[in-house]
Amino acid sequence: MADSQYPYPPDRFDDEADAVSFHGAHRAEEPFWRQNLLYIVIIGAALVMLIVLLFLIGGMGGGGDERAEDPTTPAASESSSAPAEEETSEAPPEADKSIPILVVNAGGINGMAGAWQENLEGADWEDVSLNTSDNVQQEPVVFFRDEADQESAQALADEVGAGEARQSDEYDARITFVAVEMPDEGGDGGGEGDGGGEG
């Protein structure tokens, strides 16, 4: 419609102007995605990076679990092998302390066999007899005649500090302890001490 302030009567150009809905220069409004394209690109890139990081962390976490499990495997194998090692280690020989024992004084010390007799009887050996050797020896030794007495002879050898028990028929007794030193106060072998009895 023509302007009411317009001083001239309307003509055909005014009619065409009224028929058009838009007046003057006009630019179409940009869509939302185009106005915020930069932000959309940044947010999308951030989401992609977040997903990638989650995958990487998940992969590293799984590997960490495997590494965490690996150290436990040797520990488990060590713990499982420990009883086997204990089983294979030699158990101390068991002594039949009712077997007759002969203590021979081979150290040339008066009363030594008697001291050993008291010592061994105090350690629950039931039958201890005495003898004296014609020759002085330097090292103590335990002899046994029969293999059936080997374990008891070795237990006695360990008790008196005589090393490895040996099989021999030199003496008539089933087990013979050739002593060269007085028993100590603890009763575990060498060392001089007081002792009574004959030897």
3-state secondary structure of 101: strand
Is the domain of 105 the same as that of 170?
yes
pLDDT (tens digit, 0 to 9) for every residue of the chain, 199 residues total? 445 566 667 666 666 656 555 555 556 667 777 778 888 899 999 999 999 999 898 877 655 445 445 555 555 455 555 555 555 566 666 778 888 999 999 888 898 889 999 999 988 898 999 988 888 888 999 999 999 889 988 999 999 988 899 998 888 889 999 999 998 865 444 443 333 344 4
Task: Kindly list the distances between the CA atom of residue 113 and the CA atoms of 97, 108, 126, 136, in Å, as whole numbers in the listed order.
Answer: 18, 10, 16, 13
Q: pTM for this one?
A: 0.49
Looking at the domain assignment, is residue 94 inside a domain?
no
Looking at the domain assignment, is residue 75 inside a domain?
no
Q: Count of CB atoms within 10 A of residue 100's CB?
A: 14
Count of structural domains within the chain: 2
Report the candidate in 22, 16, 19, 18 with the shortest Cα–Cα distance to residue 3.
Answer: 18
End residue of a domain, out of 67, 84, 114: 67
In the chain the first and final C-alpha atoms are separated, in Å, by: 153
Q: What is the CA radius of gyration of the chain?
A: 54
Question: Tokens 């081979």 belong to which residue?
Answer: 106
Amino acid 154 reads: Q
Range of the domain at 158: 101-179
Looking at the domain assignment, is residue 4 inside a domain?
no
